[in-house]
Amino acid sequence: MESYSQILAGSDNGIVVFKGNSQLSLIYRTLVDIQPKMPVDTDLPQPQIDSLRKWIDDGLYESRN
């Protein structure tokens, strides 16, 4: 997934992110507790994982950078 709209649209497996609930969001859970973890070859730095969790829990607001 490479864009905000793709994240919201989900995947072939269904919804990957639930606004306001990182614990139900597959995109977050594959980073922290679902096996196999993603990314496969390396761990994401904890600050990036924390940022993703906060973004989901805060409502998935789209960045306008």
Residue 36: per-residue pLDDT: 67
In a domain, 65, yes or no: no
In the numeric block, the tokens 């864009």 are attached to 3
In a domain, 12, yes or no: yes
In a domain, 17, yes or no: yes
In a domain, 41, yes or no: yes
In a domain, 19, yes or no: yes
Q: What is the pLDDT of residues 8-59, one digit of tens each?
A: 899 888 899 999 999 999 889 988 887 666 666 777 888 999 999 999 999 9
Q: How many domains does the chain have?
A: 1
CA atoms within 13 A on the CB side of 28: 20
Residue 25: per-residue pLDDT: 93
In the numeric block, the tokens 């597959």 are attached to 26
* Domain, as residue range, for 40: 4-57
Distance between CA 56 and CA 25 in Å, rounded?
8
More confident residue, 62 or 24: 24
The predicted model scores a pTM of: 0.79
Alpha-helix residue ranges (DSSP H) falling in the chain:
4-9, 26-32, 46-57
